[in-house]
Amino acid sequence: MAEDTVEITQKDQVPAQAGEPTYEGAYFTPAVDIYETVNEIVLLADMPGVEADNLDVDLNDDELIIVGRVNAVDDEGAELLSEYRVGNYYRNFRISDVVDRRSISASLSDGVLKIVLPKAAKAVPRKIPISVG
Amino acid sequence: MYIWRTGRGRLGGEIARLRRDMDDLVGALAGGGRTWLRSPWRETRLFPLLNVRETSDAFIVSSEIPGMKKEDLEVKIEGDTLSLRGERPPETIGDEASFHRRERAVGTFQRSLTLPGNVDRDRVNATYRHGVLTVRLFKETKSAPKEIKISAE
C-alpha cells in the first residue's frame, strides 16, 4: 500500500494536570470503546499487562475511575529495541443519570477491561400495552 | 509491515487527520501533483509495537496485543526472521447497539523482525498473558564462538 506517512500506534501518557492520584511510575490513557445497547452501556478498555488484582474501578459520585497497574518489569538482559513503554493506566469518565449505579459490573480478560453499565429502569424504552376495553 | 484498520482516534489525532485529508483534497482540486486519496475506513499504523531484549542465551520479543484469542495469533520463525500476524475482529454489538466512542483498533496486522543472530528454531516459545505476547527465542548453540586451537607441526 502506497502511503506516505505511517501513523504509529502510540500510547498517550496521562497529562500531569489531569488530577490523577499520585502513584509511582508512568501512566497511560487506555484506548476505549463505548457502545450502547437497549438495556446497557458497555465500556471496553485496552489495558495490556494488567492483572485483575491490580485493577481498580471506582465510582465516586458521577466519576468512574479506572486505574490499572502493571507489575511486570522487563529488565532481563540488555535492551535491543524499545518501541513501547510499559506503564500503568488511568482514565476517568463521567457517568450520567441514565446508569443504574448499583448494578455496574466489570470483568477483565486478556488485557481488555469490560464494564457493563446497566441503564436505570426509567431510561429503558418501554412499550405500553394497550388493553382493549 | 502491518495494515491495521483503526477506529476513531482521540481528538488531537482526529484534527491532524482532518487537516491532512483537507490538504489532500485541496491538493487534488488544484491539480497539483499526485495525491493519494485516503479511504476514511482504512488507515495504516505501525502495529504492534515490539520490545526486544537480549540475554546471554536468548532473544526476548514482547508486544502488547490486548484482547486476542490464542488461535488468532500466529508466530512464525523463518531463518533469522520472526513474524507476527493476527487479526482482531471488531466487537459484535448487535443491530440495536451503536458506538459512542471507538478508539480501539481492529483489523489484521503483520510485522516481521530480523533478529541480530541465528536462533534455534526448535527452541522458541511463545506465551500470551494478560494481552501481552512474549516470544523467547534461544540462540543457536552452533553459532556460539569457538576458539580453534592451532597445532604446530
Q: What is the DSSP string of B90-133?
A: PPP--SS-EEEEE-S--EEEEEEEE-SS-EEEEEEEEEEETTEE
**Does residue B48 lie in a domain region?**
yes
| CA-based radius of gyration for chain A | 20
Which cell numbers hold the place of B18? Answer: 482532518
Identify whether B48 is preceded by a cis peptide bond (ω within 30 of 0). yes
What CA–CA distance (Å, rounded) separates B18 from B28? 15
Taking only the tens place, the pLDDT of each residue in B74-83 is 999 887 889 9
Q: What is the DSSP string of B37-71?
A: PPPTT---EE-S-EEEEE-SSEEEEEEE-TT--GG
In chain A the first and final C-alpha atoms are separated, in Å, by 67
Q: How many residues does chain B have?
A: 153
Task: Count the domains in chain B.
Answer: 1
Q: What is the pLDDT of residue A57?
A: 93
Taking only the tens place, the pLDDT of each residue in B44-99 is 567 888 999 999 889 999 999 999 988 899 999 887 889 999 998 888 888 888 88
Residues of chain B contacting residue A4, judged by C-beta atoms under 8 Å apart: 36
Q: For residues A128 and B31, which has the higher predicted lDDT (pLDDT)?
A: A128
Residue B128 lies in domain: 44-90+104-139
**Does residue B153 lie in a domain region?**
no
What CA–CA distance (Å, rounded) separates B16 from B4? 18
Which cell numbers hold the place of A19? Answer: 488530577
pLDDT of B18 over the 60 cut? yes
Query: B86 touching A, CB under 8 A?
Result: no
**Does residue B66 lie in a domain region?**
yes
Residues of chain B contacting residue A112, judged by C-beta atoms under 8 Å apart: 66-67, 131
Q: Which amino acid is at A91?
A: R
**Does residue B4 lie in a domain region?**
no
Q: What is the DSSP string of A103-129?
A: G-EEEEETTEEEEEEEBPGGGS--PPP
Contact A9 B48 (CB under 8 A): yes
Nearest-CA neighbor of A81 among B137, B111, B51, B119?
A: B51
Q: What is the pLDDT of residue A7?
A: 59
Which cell numbers hold the place of A56? Answer: 481498580
Residues 26-45 of B with CB under 8 A from A: 36, 43-45
Q: What is the pLDDT of residue B116?
A: 83
Q: What is the CATH number of the domain that holds B125?
A: 2.60.40.790
Which cell numbers hold the place of B44? Answer: 495504516
**Average pLDDT score over residue span A69-74:** 77
Q: What is the pLDDT of residue B60?
A: 93
What average pLDDT does the structure give for chain A? 83
Domain coordinates in residue numbering, chain A: 27-73+84-123
DSSP helix/strand/coil, B11 = helix
**Average pLDDT score over residue span A75-92:** 88
DSSP helix/strand/coil, A11 = coil
Taking only the tens place, the pLDDT of each residue in B114-150 is 988 888 888 899 999 999 999 999 988 765 667 788 8
Residues of chain A contacting residue B106, judged by C-beta atoms under 8 Å apart: none
Most confident of A94-98, A127-131, B15-19, B31-35: A94-98
> Which CATH number, 1.10.10.60, 2.60.40.790, 2.30.31.70, 1.10.8.50, labels domain A27-73+84-123?
2.60.40.790
Residue B14's pLDDT band, with cuts at 50, 70 and 90, is low
Q: What is the pLDDT of residue A68?
A: 93
Residue labelled with grid coordinates 483534497:
B25
Chain B interface mutation, best of A14, A34, A35, highest count of B Cβ atoms under 10 Å: A35
pLDDT of A16 over the 70 cut? no
